[in-house]
Amino acid sequence: MNLTQQDWTEQLENDENAIVLDVRTEDECNDGIIENAIMIDINKGQYFINEIESLDKSKNYYVYCRSGVRSAKACDIMNELGFENAYNLLGGFIQWDGEVVYPE
């Protein structure tokens, strides 16, 4: 499901069952991530699928990439794998106006 920045943020803040998922490359993540995000690069093919399949399907996933295109694809893949609640951030990280942290 696609959510606007405002809806995505509001829903995330009120969701005690939320996981933030960043599907960008490592280089992109070095420019900053949304706090507490798990980083799984969608460009890594089967590795991405394996990592996604290891996640808890009972959680709600808030997914983003740079512009919203790869994260939309990631949400589609997650839905095919049986995840019921995967939310795509429309506009992606380049339009994100919330807090940013840097991976260690």
Query: In terms of residue numbers, what domain contains 24?
Result: 2-95
CATH code for position 54: 3.40.250.10
In a domain, 31, yes or no: yes
Q: Is 75 a catalytic residue?
A: no
103 falls within a domain: no
Residue 102 lies in a domain: no
Domain count, the chain: 1
Tens-binned pLDDT, residue by residue, of the chain (104 aa): 999 999 999 999 999 999 999 999 999 999 999 999 999 999 999 999 999 999 999 999 999 999 999 999 999 999 999 999 999 999 999 999 999 999 87
Residue 61 lies in a domain: yes
- What is the rounded CA–CA span in Å between residue 51 and residue 19? 14
Catalytic one among 65, 74, 78, 90?
Answer: 65
Residue 103's pLDDT is 81
Q: Is residue 43 part of a domain?
A: yes
In a domain, 65, yes or no: yes
Residue 100 domain flag:
no
pTM for this model (two decimals): 0.96
